Amino acid sequence: MTSPYESRFWTKVYNWKTPTTMRYPLIPAYYILRDATVFQPDKTATDFYGAKITWDQLYHKVTRMANVLVENNIKKGDRVGICLPNCPQFVIAFWAVLMAGGVVVNLNPVYTADELEFAFKDAGLTGLITFDSLVPLVKPLVNKLEIPMVMVTRLADFMPGGSISTDEELGLEPGWLNFSKVLETDRRWVPPLVDIKHDDPAVIQYTGGTTGVPKGAVLTQFNIVAAAYQVVMWCIEMVDNEPTEIQNLLCLIPFFHIYGEVCCILYAARSQMTMVILPRFEPNEVLDAIERYDQYAYFPAVPTMLEALFANPRVNDIDWHRKFVYCGTGAAPAPLALYQKCRQYDFNFYEGYGSSETCALAVSTPGGRPKPGSVGVPYIDMEVRIVDEDGNDVPLGERGELWMRGATVMKEYWNNPEETALALTEDGWLKSGDVVYMDEEGYIFIVDRTKDMIIAGGYNIYPRDIDEVLMQHPAIADVMAVGVPDEYRGETVKAFVQLKPGQTVTVEELDALCRQKLAPYKVPKLWEFRSELPRTNTGKALRRILRDEEIAKQKKE
């Protein structure tokens, strides 16, 4: 029987300038930066609270840093951890590690000591680039694991009026390097001679840990080059109408996740946009940054960011339609209320879907063709299948697991052949673990994670079905439904609810809403109100944490 997905019929709804397939250059990723400095050498590459670096200046800093890394015995294939918030130093370090032939290991700067130790050991770090605030945390780990190359910076060094921090101010150990000083002392302007192949590892991105022990997705030079070319071409119909000289990119998504690296660092270099960088999401700081520029060509975000900005008292001071040419969100589903709010402000917002294993790119909404509740259609050159439990394709409209194959799909999990074999088929299909369905135009609707599915009294219940109903209540800011062990039903549904500031609602009201919109077996039997719900830094729901807490509570009882 012919698969309904083989013809890639969804390309019919692509924007008119977006290609249905592409050829990707087999180049080292840093060539993208090298080209940017030729095309727009004097344009601002990074703006950090008003401190600006041009593309030409950035390239020279990167080449100096890459040579320093090689001098300090970073060899091709060595893993170098970058543990920094968003800042120009991250951009420099990212490109420099790639130029030196190393592998960037993304590390969240809010990780605990245990989480960092796991990643350091699992990746086998040869080098670490971090900042002064983390020195007390990483120093014992560096000594314990004998990481030979450590480089430290201070965020203020790259802010307006910043000066070079002293070694003492940074808390450097003997042999550690001062990030700013090495940029001043090394004067070479040419990349080191390293034989970088297109299929060499470039980035190790650890999964968000939503299902237990993190796994390191290995993304190759080819993967991230393809991602850079794809993301530019996906948005080209809108962004291409704005002169390059005035194109800006709002960088709030964490650079220590592949979403931020592809949709900020790589996208900006490929299109020579100015990266307006903030190290944290604080709504008033973000609004200040928005007001400093006339327009932003691109704003990669997560739904919670937009919701916080639209809830700010200054929301009506911004002409949202004029300020932003294109905004894409991912990492978590966008509630219907957010679509309505974006419509209210005539804001160009499009939902998408990806993962660490796909360079954050897999599915996205074509410009001008959103469908509330859908994450869009498969990306350029992304093959998809939606399969049942036996791996057979299901008809359009039926639920199944999403499988993907394409230029941005990872090579493997780092040093983990067992998990690699579970995630990738022999012919290259990545099993996403997400339950979805596709409509007749090729739009994909995410139902839930296979591992989050609740089985209560023999019924399969997808938590997102419940979340979407509860998010319709105007008092609710966030909600997560989880399955908790139940002696009679196997599992029962518990809803954790976070209210908007100053709002109140009763369990009875929420129960009535669910009974109106959901089948009886889906209605939560247990309720709990919380001031905050656990999500990853990219907005994914950490239901496992809530479920584990409930199991621990039951054991105590």
The pLDDT value given to residue 459: 63
Rounded distance between C-alpha atoms, residue 172 and residue 152, angstroms? 7
Among residues 176, 299, 150, the alpha carbon closest in space to that of 238 is found at 299
Q: What is the maximum alpha-carbon separation in the chain?
A: 71
The pLDDT value given to residue 350: 86
Exposure string for 478-517, b = 16+ CB within 10 A, e = fewer: bbbbbbbebeebebbbbbbbebeeeeebeeeebeebbeee
Per-residue pLDDT band for 308 (boundaries 50, 70, 90) equals confident
pLDDT tens for residues 204-246? 999 854 345 789 999 999 999 999 999 999 988 877 888 888 8
Per-residue pLDDT band for 487 (boundaries 50, 70, 90) equals low
- What's the alpha-carbon Rg for the chain, to the nearest Å? 23
**H helix or E strand, kind and range, residue 40:** none
The pLDDT value given to residue 303: 82
pLDDT tens for residues 326-340? 888 876 667 777 888
The pLDDT value given to residue 483: 87
The pLDDT value given to residue 277: 97
Chain centroid to CA 294: 26
Strand, coil or helix: 104 = strand
Provide, rounded to the nearest whole percent, the portion of the chain with pLDDT above 90: 65
- The helix-helix angle for 88-99 and 55-71 (nearest 10°) equals 60
Among residues 555, 488, 497, the alpha carbon closest in space to that of 526 is found at 497
**Which 8-state DSSP code applies to residue 212?**
S
Strand, coil or helix: 337 = helix
pLDDT of 490 over the 80 cut = no
Per-residue pLDDT band for 159 (boundaries 50, 70, 90) equals very high
**H helix or E strand, kind and range, residue 428:** none
Cα angle value 131/136/138 (rounded, 5°): 70
Helix ranges (H only) for 262-314 are 267-271, 283-292, 303-310
**H helix or E strand, kind and range, residue 78:** none
Sign of the C-alpha dihedral computed for residues 221, 89, 73 and 121 taken in this order: negative
Overall pTM surpassing 0.95 (yes/no) = no
Among residues 410, 354, 466, 250, the alpha carbon closest in space to that of 365 is found at 354
The pLDDT value given to residue 402: 94
pLDDT tens for residues 26-46? 999 999 999 999 999 999 999
Rounded distance between C-alpha atoms, residue 128 and residue 82, angstroms? 6
Among residues 282, 320, 283, 334, the alpha carbon closest in space to that of 445 is found at 334
| Residue ranges of domains in the chain, CATH in brackets | 1-27+220-450 (3.40.50.12780), 30-40+52-197 (3.40.50.980), 453-556 (3.30.300.30)
Counting every residue written for the chain, the total comes to 557
Q: What is the mean pLDDT of the chain?
A: 90
**Which 8-state DSSP code applies to residue 539?**
-
Do 84 and 279 contact (CB within 8 A), yes or no? no
Rounded distance between C-alpha atoms, residue 3 and residue 427, angstroms? 16
pLDDT of 457 over the 70 cut = no
**Token output for 214:** 């993190």
Among residues 151, 157, 142, 155, the alpha carbon closest in space to that of 65 is found at 151
pLDDT tens for residues 84-127? 999 999 999 999 999 999 999 999 898 888 889 989 999 999 99
SS percent in the chain: helix, strand, coil, step 5: 35, 25, 40
Name the least confident of 190-194, 251-255, 298-302, 365-369.
Answer: 365-369
Name the least confident of 116-120, 149-153, 416-420, 516-520.
Answer: 516-520
The pLDDT value given to residue 557: 66
pLDDT tens for residues 511-521? 999 988 887 87
**β-pairing, 490-499 with 526-529?**
parallel
User: What's the half-sphere exposure (Cβ side, CA atoms, 13 Å) at 109?
Assistant: 21
Residues 6+ away with beta carbon under 8 Å from 449: 210, 433, 434, 435
pLDDT of 283 over the 70 cut = yes
